[in-house]
Chains A and B, each alone.
Chain A
Amino acid sequence: MKKFLPAILFTVFAFSMIIVIMGFNPIGDPHLPGYADFVSSPISKHQVVKQADSIALHYNRHACSDTGAMDIIAAIIFDYRGYDTLFETTVLFTALIGVLSIIGVKES
Chain B
Amino acid sequence: MLIETVLSRIDYIVTVILFCIGLYALIIKPNLIKKLIGMNVIETSVYLFFIASADVRLGPASWQWAGPSEIADAAQAARVAAGQVALVNPIPSALILTAIVVSISVTAISLALSIKIYEHYGTLDTRKIMRLKG
CB-CB under 8 A from B74, the residues of chain A are none
Pairwise interchain contact A95-B105, C-beta atoms closer than 8 A: yes
Instruction: Classify the interface of chain B: helix, strand, loop or mixed.
Output: helix
How many residues of A are in contact with the other chain, CB < 8 A? 57
Pairwise interchain contact B57-A48, C-beta atoms closer than 8 A: no
- Give the bracket for the number of chain B residues in contact with chain A: 35 or more
Pairwise interchain contact A98-B109, C-beta atoms closer than 8 A: yes
B41 CB to closest chain A CB (Å) equals 13
CB-CB under 8 A from B66, the residues of chain A are 64, 70-71
Residues 32 to 91 of chain A near chain B (Cβ within 8 Å): 32-35, 38, 43-44, 46-51, 55-57, 59-61, 63-65, 70-73, 76-77, 81, 84-85, 88, 91
Contact of A14 among B17, B89, B106, B112 (CB under 8 A): B17
Pairwise interchain contact B81-A47, C-beta atoms closer than 8 A: no
Name B residues whose Cβ lies closer than 8 Å to a Cβ of A: 5-6, 8-13, 16-17, 19-20, 23-24, 27-28, 52-59, 62-63, 65-70, 79-81, 83-87, 89-94, 97-98, 101-102, 104-106, 108-109, 112-113, 115-116
- Cross-chain pairs A/B with CB under 8 angstroms, 19 sampled: A11-B20, A13-B20, A17-B16, A18-B16, A21-B12, A27-B9, A28-B57, A28-B58, A30-B56, A35-B56, A43-B57, A49-B84, A72-B90, A73-B93, A76-B90, A85-B98, A92-B105, A95-B108, A99-B112
Name A residues whose Cβ lies closer than 8 Å to a Cβ of B: 6-7, 10-11, 13-14, 17-18, 21-22, 24, 26-30, 32-35, 38, 43-44, 46-51, 55-57, 59-61, 63-65, 70-73, 76-77, 81, 84-85, 88, 91-92, 94-96, 98-99, 102-103
